[in-house]
Amino acid sequence: MPIKIDRINKISSNLGKSTILILGDVMLDEYLYGSVTRISPEAPVPVVEINNEQLRLGGAANVANNVRSLGDEPILVGVIGEDDASIKLSQLLKEKGISRDNLIDDSERRTTIKTRIIAHSQQVVRADREDTDEISSGLEKRILDRFNSVSDKIRGVIISDYGKGVITASLLEKIIPACREEGIFVAVDPKETHFFNYSKVCVITPNHHEAGFAAGRRIRTDDDLNYVGKFLLEKLQADSILITRGERGMALFNANGEVDYFPTVAKKVFDVTGAGDTVIASFVSAIAAGATLKEAAVISNCAAGVVVGEIGTGTVSAAVLTEELKRHFANGG
């Protein structure tokens, strides 16, 4: 579906004027870059000689970073540990202009760290340090207090569920109805094992693997895709479902029965890490800026096409996104 240039201009002019709450699993992404010249004599594995390292925001924090990059004000709500990783995470948030005031410190949890070792532009291995037990009822109440304190000024809520224990069924049972009652657009980037806890959201954005798992049917064909999308839409009583399909683009299923397909606009794919974060952030930012569901899908598809051309979790600015949209649709889409 093409977007007319005047609509691109209209939506772009409203980007950066909204406040969006991001609730979920906050992580620290560590990247170790190096080269491989030999195999270890201890085991048949490559020896990576590290020559560079980098820390980045991950999980819900990367969603907040994407929202900030598009110009909107992110309110990041989550639970982190009282450890060295939390200090590094807080510094990164400060550098990106994202407040850590709504993050809850828990001395009994570790801050989640994902360490990726990359050699010659390819990921060799990932090591995770994390605690995944569900948060306590006391922490749930503190999260709800934070939501209630800002609900009158937010245009959207993004639930970023990576299955690390912050997004519980009881929390969803309180947050989602509150958003619907107050007219706040609520979107979910799901964890497949929690799928049917996300009832009555405005949009849910699974990839095709997650969607197929939840529906009990692997997506191999367009018929499979249509079955899965319509099944999940009805099961969840959601307004819409946006299924991301990697190199095959996206499919949007609407509660009114409409289905729209969006081929990928990516010119090259180096790394899909964090692409889902970009999709949901740009989708909700576009909705907050006045886009329709279809327009938001087109915009998020274009945003994802930009970030997969980078190694590591990336973001896209409003200016770059607007330029890409105009370039793509000026040539006929």
Least confident of 123-127, 152-156, 179-183, 327-331: 327-331
Sole residue written with tokens 């890409």:
324
Catalytic residue, candidates 29, 72, 239, 277: 277
Instruction: State how far the alpha carbon of 129 is from the alpha carbons of 64, 85, 113, 249, in Å.
Output: 21, 10, 5, 32
Domains and CATH numbers, the chain: 5-26+134-330 (3.40.1190.20)
Reply yes or no on whether the pLDDT at 248 is more than 70. yes
Q: How much is the pLDDT for 249?
A: 87
Q: How much is the pLDDT for 289?
A: 96
Q: How much is the pLDDT for 99?
A: 97
Q: How much is the pLDDT for 246?
A: 82
Q: Higher confidence at residue 146 or residue 328?
A: 146
What are 68-90's pLDDT values in tens digits? Answer: 999 999 999 999 999 999 999 99
What are 202-230's pLDDT values in tens digits? Answer: 999 999 999 999 999 999 999 999 999 99
Q: How much is the pLDDT for 310?
A: 62
Interacting residues of 236 by C-beta distance below 8 A, sequence separation 6+: 195, 196, 198, 199, 200, 201, 204
For residue 327, the one-letter residue type is: R
When pLDDT is averaged across residues 253-260 and rounded to a whole number, the result is: 94
Would you state the structure tokens that stand for residue 201, as one six-digit string? 């959201």
Global model pTM greater than 0.85: yes
Would you state the structure tokens that stand for residue 116, as one six-digit string? 């990726």
Dist. CA 138–CA 91, nearest whole Å: 27
Q: Taking Cα atoms as reference points, which of 144, 150, 205 lies closest to residue 176?
A: 144
When pLDDT is averaged across residues 38-50 and rounded to a whole number, the result is: 95
Q: How much is the pLDDT for 138?
A: 96
Pairing mode, if any, of strands 112-119 and 26-39? parallel
- Across the beta sheet with 122-129, the strand order is 46-59, 26-39, 112-119, 122-129
Q: Is 277 a catalytic residue?
A: yes
